[in-house]
A and B are shown apart, each in its own frame.
Chain A
Amino acid sequence: MTPLVTASGLSLAGRLRETSLTLEAGALTCLIGPNGSGKTSLLHAIAGIGRPAGNVRIDAVDPAGLAPAQLQRLLGFLPASRDVKWPLTAADLIALGGAGEPEIARILVDLDLAALAGRRIDLMSTGERSRVLIARALAARPKLLLLDEPVANLDPLWQLRLMDYLRGLARDQGCALLIAAHDLDLAGRYADRLIIMDEGRIAADGAPGALLASPHIKAIFGIERGEAGWRPA
């Protein structure tokens, strides 16, 4: 099967070094690694942020030459920062992602935001704000979703609901998801594939069960699984 996304020789400001990967349509891939390992840099490089070196093709198209309206249908990006510069309403912010009115109405319902549609983002809780920004990235139904720690700031129930929803998106709409995550258990539970980053490179890539049980975890994260969960090694 031809991969949906092909990235080769990606480098970014010394934080990401000559990294190549492919992403399949319909698969949820989680990107794990310690702080500073290059997870965010890999997402940035694929999204064309910060003038990365290397080649990216999404659905056989070079995103670098596309107009914003076309790019918004190809690629959705959620940054790690939940900072919003101007106090727009939830519906207006989601519309900045290039989605049409029916798509906005649908994502508002899907992420349980309908009651907050007209509320200004600066008057929302951190969790509500996160959900609005996630909705913005998803609303235009792009083929590739690059999400930097989407469950950060969400309560446990919403963490599970969101990951369920994202897995459903991959399965039902055939988009590719690449998610940077810190919660190894959540990544192991929901990912179809796990990529471990270390020092700006892909250190390991494979099925979640096998990778989480591999020596990579102890060597890279400095933790191991004990009876009560993860503990320092």
Chain B
Amino acid sequence: MRLGLLVLLAAAFALSLALPWAALGELFAQDRSLGWAVLAELRLPRALLALSYGAMLGAAGAAIQALFANPLASPDLTGTTSGAALGAVVTAYLLGFTAPLALSIGSVLGALGALGLLLALAGPKAETATLLLSGLAISALAGALTTLALALAPSPFAFYDAYDWLMGSLVDRSLGQAGFAALPAALVILLLWRMRDALDSLTLGEEVAQSQGHDVARMRIRIVCLTALGVGACVAICGAIGFVGLVAPIFARRLTGGHPGRAILPAAAIGAILLLAADLVVRSAPLGRTLPIGVVTALLGAPFFLWLVAHMRWRLAR
């Protein structure tokens, strides 16, 4: 099972580098060094970003779902990605700092603010409806404030400039930019993975987890901070990408017998595969222009979300 996931991940990554092959093959035939340059400077950052952002969304989704004991909690539905986008927009267009590090800091602070607000509004033991409504309210607020920040920006092209990024895009990023997303993501996934047993113990409720020596309050703070850091760093580079953090953990738990904590690493692998696959769809779509990848994940993820809500309702009605 683990091997299967790794093989799939490696295949998706290799395809992301190789496809579309015709253009790359032609380049290699004409000028070998130009072929390598395209591979290293255009396709590798893009594939690396899809890999790390997808993995980060999958792992963060698994951790947030385990923490709230709710399969509908995810970075996008809790307002984390919208908060991160707001932080990055304010940093870039109102404060005027456009260096990757500044954007990352702004984005992480935005994500932290959104998650902090969610915990304050819904509480750690929130029912599904409260959690989703609070997440919806935070997303709407962050979206409105993002639009306001762009409207107030000194640059008249702010809206046009930010549109592709806001919808999620992996295109035209450098290897250095990819590193700004990939390194925090790798570190955060590793630290979240180390919390798997504590998160699994939450299956039996907070009281049992505490009786087993897990400090639940500290665990909550750590997960909020780590998720904000990892997701914020990715949003700063690639914008907001939805639904991967919702879908990946649900499939991952099917591989771990339902264990929410142990699902963190498989969810990271599935998230990476999903985003690499979505990027392949973006590249092969015959539209004449590059589709923002967030549009593809939303088009595929939203029906899945609707199915999930209907499925949960059906289960509750039984």
Contact = CB atoms under 8 A, between A and B. Distances in A.
Interface of A: 44, 47-50, 63, 66-68, 70-72, 75, 77, 79, 81, 83-89, 92-93, 96, 98, 120, 133, 136, 146
A92 B205 CA distance: 15
A146 B208 CA distance: 11
Given A88-B258, A92-B258, A68 B214 contact: yes
B203 A75 contact: no
Contact of A88 (B211, B214, B257): B257
B204 A96 contact: yes
B164 interface: no
B257 A92 contact: yes
Contacts of A120: 258
Nearest to A66: B213
Contacts of B248: none
Interface of B: 69, 197-198, 200-205, 207-208, 210-214, 253, 257-260
A48 B205 contact: no
Contacts, number: 72
A83 B257 contact: no
A81 B205 contact: yes
Interface centre among B202, B212, B260 (most CB of A within 10 A): B212
Interface centre among A79, A85, A87, A146 (most CB of B within 10 A): A85
Given A49-B207, A92-B258, 7 more contacts: A48-B210, A50-B210, A71-B211, A77-B208, A83-B205, A88-B259, A120-B258
Contact of A96 (B201, B207, B213, B253): B201
A47 B204 CA distance: 15
25 contacts: A47-B207, A47-B210, A47-B211, A48-B210, A48-B211, A49-B207, A49-B210, A66-B213, A68-B197, A68-B201, A68-B213, A68-B214, A71-B211, A71-B212, A77-B208, A79-B205, A84-B203, A84-B205, A85-B204, A85-B260, A86-B258, A87-B258, A88-B203, A88-B257, A96-B201
Given A88-B259, A120-B258, A72 B212 contact: yes
Interface centre among B211, B253, B259 (most CB of A within 10 A): B211
B196 to A, nearest CB: 12
Contacts of B200: 96
Contacts of B207: 44, 47, 49, 77, 79, 81
Nearest to B216: A49
A96 B205 contact: no
Please name the 6 residue pairs, one residue from A and one from B, whose CB atoms are nearest each other, closest first.
A85-B69, A77-B211, A47-B211, A71-B213, A68-B213, A49-B210
Contacts of A92: 257-259
Contact of A93 (B204, B214, B253): B204
B197 A84 contact: no
B208 to A, nearest CB: 6
A47 to B, nearest CB: 4
A18 B84 CA distance: 47
Nearest to A79: B207
A70 B207 CA distance: 18
A107 to B, nearest CB: 16
A98 to B, nearest CB: 7
B253 A86 contact: yes
A89 B205 CA distance: 16
Given A47-B210, A49-B211, A93-B204, A86 B259 contact: yes
A81 B259 CA distance: 20
A87 B254 CA distance: 10
Contacts of A49: 207, 210-211
A96 B203 contact: yes
A124 to B, nearest CB: 14
Contact of A85 (B197, B205, B211, B214): B205
